[in-house]
Structure 1
Amino acid sequence: MYDPAHFLPSFVWRAARDGFIQYANPWACRYLGLASEELVGRHWREFIHHQDEELVRDAVRQMRNDTLLNNVDVRLLRADGEFRWHTLHLQARRDEEERIADTVGVAIDIHECRHAWELYEASERRLQLAFAGARMGAWEWDMTTRVVRMTQQLAAMYSFPAGTETAMLSEIWDRVAPESREHFQRNLAQALRDGGPFEFDFMLDGGPASRRWLRMRGNPEFDPRGTLVRVYGVSFDISEQRADEERLSLSERRYRALVESTGALIWSADANGEIHPSSGDWENFTGARHERLARWGWLDFVHPDDREQTRKAWLEAVHQGGPTTLTFRMYRRDGVYRMVQAQAAPLYDEQGHLQEWFGTTTDVTPRYEAQAAIEARSLRLTVAMQAAKIHIISLELATWSLMFETVGKLRTEPIETITYEEALARVHPDDAPTLDRFVRRLAAGEDPREQFEFRVKDEQAERWMQGSALLQRGKDDKPLRIIGSLIDITERKHMELVLRESGRRKDEFLAMLAHELRNPLAPLRTAIALLQKDEGVSARTSELVELMRRQVEHMTRIVDDLLEVSRITQGRIALKTEPVLVGTAVYHAVEAIAAMVEARKQHIQVDVPDATTWVCGDVTRLSQILVNVLNNATKYTPEHGQISVSVKAEQDWVSIVIADTGTGISADLLPKVFELFSQGERTLDRSNGGLGIGLSLVKKLVEMHKGTITVQSPGPGLGTTVTVRLPRLHHHERHSALALSEAGSIGTQAALRVLIVDDNRDAADSLAMLCESEGHVTRVAYSSEEALAASQFEADVALLDIGLPDIDGYELARRLRRKGASAPLLVAITGYGQAEDRLRAQSAGFDYHFVKPVNVESLLKLLSSLTADRPAGRTAER
Structure 2
Amino acid sequence: MLFAGLAREVGNAPSPAGGSRRLRRLPGPFGGGGGPSWRNYAMGLVFGLGAMAVRLGSSPIVGEGRALPTFFLGVAAAACLGGVGPAIATLGVMLAASPWFPSPPGSEAAVGGATAMGLGLYALSGGGVAYVGGRVRRSLARCELARQVAGLQADERLRAARVEEERLLREQVDLRETAEGQSRRLEDLLREVREKNAFLTAILRQVPAGLLVAESGTARILLCNDEAGRISRGSIRPGLPVDLEGADGLIGRRSDGSTYGPDDWPLARTLRDGEAVADEEIELEFSDGERRRVSVSSGPAVDESGRPIAAVAALLDVTARRAAEDGLVDSERRFRQLAEAVTQVVYITRPDDSIAFLNGRWFDYTGASRDHVEVKDAWLAAIHPDDVPVVLGARARSKEAGGATEIEYRIRGRDGSYRWFLGRSIWVRDESGALTSRIGTATDIDDQKRAERAARFLADAGARLAALTDAETALREVARLAVPAFADWCAVDVMDARGGLRRVVAAHDERDPAWVVETISHRYRLRPDMPQGIFEVLATRRPSLVSDLTDDHLRAAARNEEHLTALRAFAPRSYMCIPLVGREGVLGALSFATTRSGRRYDRDDLGLAVDLGARAAVALENARLYDRLREADRRKDDFLATLAHELRNPMAPISNAVSILRFKGSADPDSRWAHDVIDRQVSHLVRLVDDLLDVSRITRDKLELRPDRMDLALAVADAVEIARPAVDAREQDLRIDIAPGPIPMVADRTRLAQAIANLLDNASKFSDRGAAIDLHVAREGDRADVRVTDRGAGIAADQLPRVFDMFAQFAPVLERSQGGLGIGLALARGLVELHGGTIEAMSPGPGRGSTFVVRLPLDAGVADARPSPATQPQPGVDETARARVLVVDDSEDIAESLGRLLSLHGCEVHLAFDGETAFRMAGSIRPDFAVLDIGLPGMNGYQVAEAIRNEPWGRDIILIAVTGWGRANDRRRSAEAGFDHHLVKPVEASALAEIIADPTSTYP
Give the TM-score normalised by structure 2.
0.31
Give the TM-score normalised by structure 1.
0.34
**Higher-helix-fraction structure:** 2
Q: Which structure would you say has the larger Rg?
A: 2
